[in-house]
Amino acid sequence: MATGIIPPNTVLSKEAEYRKKMYTESYSRLQHFAWRALNVHKKSNTELVVVCIQVKSKWKPLVDFLMPGYDWEANHATNVELTAKGIAGWGICNIVAGMSPNIADAATKEPTEGHFKVFVLADGGVTIYEIEPKEHA
C-alpha cells in the first residue's frame, strides 16, 4: 500500500487489516512522535519519519537497531503484542524500500506539507501513512 487514502470499499488482506489496527490503536501516540520530531528535535518531515513496528516479526533487527539494548520481554506484560513506536532518521525509507521493493517509490517519496510519513511494519508487510503532528499529554 502506498501513501494515500484507502478507498472506503477496499477489501484489505488480513495482514493489512492488522497493520491498520496497529496504526489506529497507536494514532495519538504517533501524532505525538511527529509533533516531537518537529518541535523538540527541530527536524522537518524530510529528516525524520514515524515508525510503528511489530517487535516479534521479520523487522526485529530494525527494532534492535533503533532501540539497542531495550529489554522488550521485561518491560511488557505477557500475551501482549509488542509494538515499537518512535521516530527514525529519513534513511529508514531506503531500508524499507530495500526490504519491500514493491513499495520502494512510496517509501522514499517525501510526505505532503504539514505531514510526517509513518511506516507500519509487521510480518505481513508494510503500510505507509501520513500523519499530522499533534501534541498529546
Would residue 136 count as lying in a domain? Answer: no
4 occurs within a structural domain: no
Quickly state the pLDDT bin for 71 (edges 50, 70, 90).
confident
**Structural domain contains residue 126:** yes
Q: What is the pLDDT of residue 3?
A: 42
Structural domain of residue 72, as residue ranges? 14-131
Q: Please tell me the total count of domains within the chain.
A: 1
pLDDT band at 72 (very low <50, low <70, confident <90, very high): confident
Mean pLDDT across the stretch 63-84? 82
Q: Is 114 part of any domain?
A: yes
Q: What is the pLDDT of residue 74?
A: 77
Paired with 125 in beta bridges are: 122
